[in-house]
Structure 1
Amino acid sequence: MTEQEFHKLRFPIGEFQKPEKIDAKHIANWIETIENLPSSILNLTEKLSEVELNYKYRPEGWTIKQVVHHCADSHINSITRFKLALTEHRPAIRPYFEDRFAKLSDYDEPLDSSISILKGVHQKLGILLKGLNDEELKREFVHPEYGKIYTIEETIGVYAWHSNHHLAHIKQAITGKGKYN
């Protein structure tokens, strides 16, 4: 497999591209994507067998189960990051080792708990994000892992992309029918 083919499997929708100017339409579309993630995941996974839930989306990639559990963990962190940025001056957020989380025992369990987490977190995210004014959208946090400052508005886009990115992984794994296991 070429490096380009591997990159396409890893990033089936491409990497996040921040628009030059983020406008209200971007924000509204991104929030809608974020709000829809739990039902989109449920629609893709609810009829899958245990064997299918363990399909990988690429060589050395995660299983569908791991992807769903990761989304729950990641988006728990996202709401915390948003709230820190809204309540503190340019806080440094805490990164975590996603790859190590994916090896923990809860990632082997059924998806029910992570789907429940996603439903609750995404409902709260929708409420929180829709209520932000222009000044709040410009608030910032520091991501020490990347040494970069992110605005809330950009981060809304990143999490919408993240939602679509992992939905594409799930679809890729289903279509691949275990060929990467």
Structure 2
Amino acid sequence: MEQLRYPNGKFLFEGMSAVQMEKWISEVEKLPGELRAAIEGLDDEQLDTHYRTGGWTVRQVVHHLADASMNMFSRFKLALTESNPTIKPFDEDRWVNTADSLRAAPDSSLLIIDGLHTRTSQLLRSLERADFEKQFYHPEKGSQMKLSFLLAYMAWHGSHHVAHIMSLRERMEW
């Protein structure tokens, strides 16, 4: 069950080197294409299949990635333009159970992800290393978070969910 939940391992942050920073930004840039490839050719029944027992459907995962991308982009912008802002957490389990996440075609979220990841990567590539030390306060976690952490998490998060879909496709032989 652990392998189904974390097919590419749990998130681990051990700091950021210049090489890691470039790798993570590249992963953010590649997510839209990788996600598109992961769901290519899936019909509605397949999109509405849970990637694991107790997990979300493929459709919900796609819409969640759009929701998360919007929130992460906002967190970058807030931390870059304000002094230690408090971000607004979102309840991802409730968000993936709204009507749009349960029924909308994935194309609408793919468009959001395309645009947001283009904007996010342009923003990230414009930053100096010191900018990644800027922080925001996450009230749900009760802690400060640096933008270096957010970048690492954003890169891991996208590949984590693409791996859910690819693992399901492999198991189901789709």
TM-score normalised to the size of structure 1?
A: 0.91
Q: Which amino acid aligns with 1:87?
A: T
SS of the aligned residue for 1:149 comes to: strand
State the partner residue of 2:41: 47
Identical columns (%): 37
SS of the aligned residue for 1:141 comes to: strand
Show CA shifts across 1:40-60 (max 9, x none): 011111211111111211101
Unaligned runs of 5+ in 2: none
* Structure 1 residue 147 displacement after superposition: 1.0
Give the conservation status (yes or no) of the 8 Å contact 1:55–1:63.
yes
Q: Is the counterpart of residue 65 in structure 1 residue 59 in structure 2?
A: yes
Specify which of 86, 90, 95 is matched with residue 89 of structure 2. Answer: 95
SS of the aligned residue for 1:77 comes to: helix
SS of the aligned residue for 2:35 comes to: helix
SS of the aligned residue for 1:153 comes to: helix
State the partner residue of 1:26: 20
SS of the aligned residue for 1:142 comes to: strand
What is the correspondence of 1:67-146 to structure 2 with a 5 Å cutoff?
67-107=61-101, 108-146=103-141
* Structure 1 residue 154 displacement after superposition: 1.4
State the partner residue of 1:3: none
The CA distance in 2 between the partners of 1:82 and 1:70, in whole Å, is 18
Give the conservation status (yes or no) of the 8 Å contact 1:72–1:118.
yes
State the partner residue of 1:159: 154
Show CA shifts across 1:90-149 (max 9, x none): 111100110011111111111111000000000000000011112211100111111121
TM-score normalised to the size of structure 2?
A: 0.95
Pairwise CA RMSD = 1.2
The CA distance in 2 between the partners of 1:110 and 1:117, in whole Å, is 12
Unaligned runs of 5+ in 1: 1-5
